[in-house]
Chains A and B, each alone.
Chain A
Amino acid sequence: MNTQVTDSVLQAERRARSYWDIDGLATIAQALAVLLAGVWFLYITHFGDWLSRDTRLASGVVLAVLLALDGIRKPGLIGWIKAKITYPRTGYVAPLQLEGSHKGRRINLNALCFAFLLAALWAAAVLVETPWISAAAAILTALALWWNPLREKFVSFDVLGMSCLGLLAAVVLNATRSALHLRRFGFILIALGVLGLIKGIVTLLRYVRRNPVAQA
């Protein structure tokens, strides 16, 4: 293709891709899922006596899968809310699936290194008793998941999602041996969820203020 037109197509594609996050609704949904997961982990450590090890393991795996699926752009409930808030203001564009792009995202070395760093931080945060590691893990993951420049230019979201899934499964498998580890894990998830919720709500409020409903 002609370079200028190709650039324009890619630019249009990038804008359509980031359009899904323009109103902060997807971020709020993801953050709520993470927050719920964190609360659930605290809950099962608190009432661990009457929950069997298998139940805890199964619930952990289910939560991990839910968290991973949450990263996939599917209209569903968010689409229903967007129909009330976003489409009347700035219009509708079909969400681009990550695998369905004309020029798919490449898994680059930077993204892999970053995902690896996150994995190491999370493992350290759960296993080592040093508070700043937990805070660093939560903040860095929040930045990677919800801070757009990092998300668009540096981190391949699918790589991050897959590594989180693997990591969650590994941590849950290991942590079911210790309520303390599970509780730490829960607190990190709650911190992560709160950070995401703040980001999402601020984005939503700014979006609604800047974009009044379009007049027909």
Chain B
Amino acid sequence: MTPGLQELATLDRLIHEPARLMIMTVLYAVPEADFIYLQRECGLTQGNLSSHLAKLEEAGYVMITKTFKGKYPLTICSLLKKGRDAFEEYVRKMRVINGSQKWEG
């Protein structure tokens, strides 16, 4: 097995799922964002986003807090250190895989 292929087997499946990858990408780029913003950026339905966020929260990647800005209730999500590290590790592995996908001949 080539090193690139071996890396494929060790990819974080929680992040590798497209919807969760989108969520992680947005949260990696910003300090914190609320549910509506994430929904708008990722183009997910409410139920879909809720279930993916719940999985990421369960894994300790994302922190979800309910708060108020004035009278408006906000469900704020932010990436935790564990999630940030996991995302960076995922990207590092993807780079290794991409690097090993050069066609010869």
Contacts and interface: CB of A to CB of B under 8 A. Distances in A.
Interface of A: 1-3, 5-6, 8-10, 12-13, 15-16, 19, 79-80, 82-84, 87-94, 96, 100, 102, 214
A80 B36 CA distance: 18
A96 B31 contact: yes
Nearest to A79: B69
Centre residue among A8, A80, A84, A102 by max chain B CB count within 10 A:
A8
A100 B26 CA distance: 16
B69 A16 contact: no
Contacts of B35: 91
B57 interface: no
Given A2-B91, A2-B95, A5-B25, A87 B30 contact: no
Interface string B66-105: 0001111010100000000000100110110010000000
Contact of B40 (A2, A8, A90): A90
- What secondary structure prevails in chain B residues at the interface with A? helix
A88 B88 CA distance: 32
Interface string B29-46: 111111111111100000
B68 to A, nearest CB: 9
A93 B37 contact: yes
B69 A93 contact: no
Contacts of A83: 69-72
B82 to A, nearest CB: 18
Contacts of B34: 87, 91-93
- What secondary structure prevails in chain A residues at the interface with B? helix
A67 to B, nearest CB: 26
Interface residues of B, number: 28
Contacts of A12: 25-26, 28-30, 41
Given A91-B33, A91-B40, A92-B36, A6 B70 contact: no
Centre residue among B29, B31, B41, B74 by max chain A CB count within 10 A:
B29
Contacts of A89: 36
Contacts of B76: 92
A1 B74 contact: no
A93 B72 contact: no
Given A12-B41, A92-B74, A5 B91 contact: yes
Contacts of B95: 1-2
A87 B41 contact: no
Contacts of A1: 88, 91-92, 95
8 contacts: A1-B92, A79-B69, A83-B70, A88-B36, A91-B37, A92-B76, A93-B33, A94-B30
Contact of B30 (A13, A84, A90, A214): A13
A16 B33 contact: yes
A102 B94 contact: no
